[in-house]
Amino acid sequence: MTSIDKAAALSPVSADDLPALRRRITAVLIASQILGGLGVATGIALAAVLAQQVSGTEALSGLAPTATVAGTALLSMPLAALMTACGRRPGLVLAYVIGALGAGVVVLGAVIENFPLLLLGMAAFGAGSSANLQARFAAADLAEPERRGRAISNVVWATTIGAVLGPNIAAPAGRSVSGIGIPAAAGPFVWAAGVFLVAAVMVFALLRPDPLLTARALSPADRSREGRSLRAGMRAVRESPMARLALVTVAVSHTAMVSIMSMTPVALSHHGAGIQLIGLVISGHIAGMYAFSPLMGWLADRIGRLAVIGLAVGLLCAAALLAGTAGASHGQTAAGLFLLGLGWSAGVVSGSTLLTDSVPQPARAAVQGLSDLAMSTTAGIGGAAAGLIVARASYGWLNLVGACLLLPLAALAVRRALSRPVPATDGGR
């Protein structure tokens, strides 16, 4: 047992203290999620523009966001290993610090016009996204099983604020550095570094006691270090059909969303939409992703994780149908993108909740890191493939492929529901 584990075990939280502790932990996570979402959205808003300026060619501009996704995926497992061993607080703090350092490297790469250095910084910048993803699981550590969906969804909802504000402050951030020799397109990364550092300080100072270590201390059976390794986490997924379904749900929902969303601005522009209209469509999509996540969490707790996974499949298929057949109808495209966001929210919230339900407590941090790895990796592949599909076929075909990705998920969910019906709050265990 590490010194941190001993401290948690020697300072158990009483049952009477738990409600107040849950509220305080959730408040800290929501505040840090707002800051983290703001930092990611501010930096990523002009990432492709900055990459084009530094590389000198539009053909390489897409490598900047791709490097960020790759960095998020690569850092998922090391951060999960740290959280498994030491708790949520050190892992989240380190992720935000790495994100801040990455933003600094991006600025340096822009100043000296070094494209490989810029991509390295973008990869490290992806740690900010890793922190945001892991925060939703930290919210579930101390939540009652029948309220886990709502606990996760409240933290996901907080991303709405940062995601909406971030792109809107990118221009002021660019102007703020114009007189000190930093390219305007790199200005958002200067601000993002500061925001990440504030989030790191907040988590370090206020996320006490650590929710994961406290959850272990409150469960005598889970105080042993056995079963906490990454290998144990992978074994837990192999042994749990519900955990496998949860992993597939999160990965497929995220991949379908990223693939279709990433090429929607291109499709809209081909049909005469201007930048303002494209921005409105994407804003509606983001609102669908985050603003309604508390509803999805409530539904996951009330009617069951499997039912909301089914809802996610239905929403995502409807989104692909609307967007894929919209043609020049911008209103239909906007409706499809809004449903795409709702489907993503339903899939990620229900899948994350089911995953937490379906594995033993000691293995949860490792399994959750594995989920984020799968989520980021498949989305990166899907985003890259989306451009090829649209270039060789059409945006309609991309939506058809996205819908086809959902068919195996639907079959797996139906199989699990028929083979093992469960109460709504049981989560599939």
**What whole-number distance in Å separates Cα of residue 84 and Cα of residue 171?**
39
- What average pLDDT does the segment 258-274 reach? 84
pLDDT at 58: 66
User: Does the structure show a pLDDT above 50 at 4?
Assistant: no
Instruction: At 95, list the tokens.
Output: 């992720």
**What whole-number distance in Å separates Cα of residue 211 and Cα of residue 23?**
12
Which pLDDT band, with edges at 50, 70 and 90, does 111 fall under?
very high
Which pLDDT band, with edges at 50, 70 and 90, does 6 fall under?
very low
Residues of the chain with pLDDT > 70: what percent? 90
User: Does the structure show a pLDDT above 70 at 71?
Assistant: yes
Which stretch of 6-15, 268-277, 316-325 has the lowest confidence by average pLDDT? 6-15
- CA 10 to the chain's CA centroid: 34
- What average pLDDT does the segment 159-170 reach? 79
User: Does the structure show a pLDDT above 90 at 106?
Assistant: yes
pLDDT at 233: 78
Which pairs count as long-range contacts for 47-53, CB under 8 Å and 24+ apart, including other chains? 47/122, 49/185, 50/106, 50/110, 50/118, 50/183, 50/185, 50/186, 50/189, 51/115, 51/118, 51/119, 51/122, 53/110, 53/183, 53/185
- 3-state DSSP helix/strand/coil % of the chain, to nearest 5: 85, 0, 15
User: Does the structure show a pLDDT above 50 at 9?
Assistant: no
pLDDT in tens, 339-391: 999 999 999 999 999 999 999 888 888 898 899 889 988 988 888 788 888 88
**What whole-number distance in Å separates Cα of residue 252 and Cα of residue 408?**
9
State the DSSP H helix or E strand holding residue 346, giving kind and residue range, or none if neither.
Answer: helix 330-358
Q: What is the DSSP letter of 420?
A: S
pLDDT at 428: 45
Residue showing tokens 């397109």: 185
User: Does the structure show a pLDDT above 80 at 199?
Assistant: yes
The DSSP result for 247-272, as a single string, is HHHHHHHHHHHHHHHHHHHHHHHHTT
User: Does the structure show a pLDDT above 70 at 65?
Assistant: yes
User: Does the structure show a pLDDT above 80 at 427?
Assistant: no
Which stretch of 230-234, 295-299, 315-319, 323-327 has the lowest confidence by average pLDDT? 230-234
- What average pLDDT does the segment 19-33 reach? 92
Which pLDDT band, with edges at 50, 70 and 90, does 398 fall under?
very high
pLDDT at 388: 84
Which pLDDT band, with edges at 50, 70 and 90, does 226 fall under?
low
User: Does the structure show a pLDDT above 50 at 184?
Assistant: yes
- Residue among 398, 376, 302, 426 nearest 76 (CA): 376
**What whole-number distance in Å separates Cα of residue 38 and Cα of residue 349?**
21
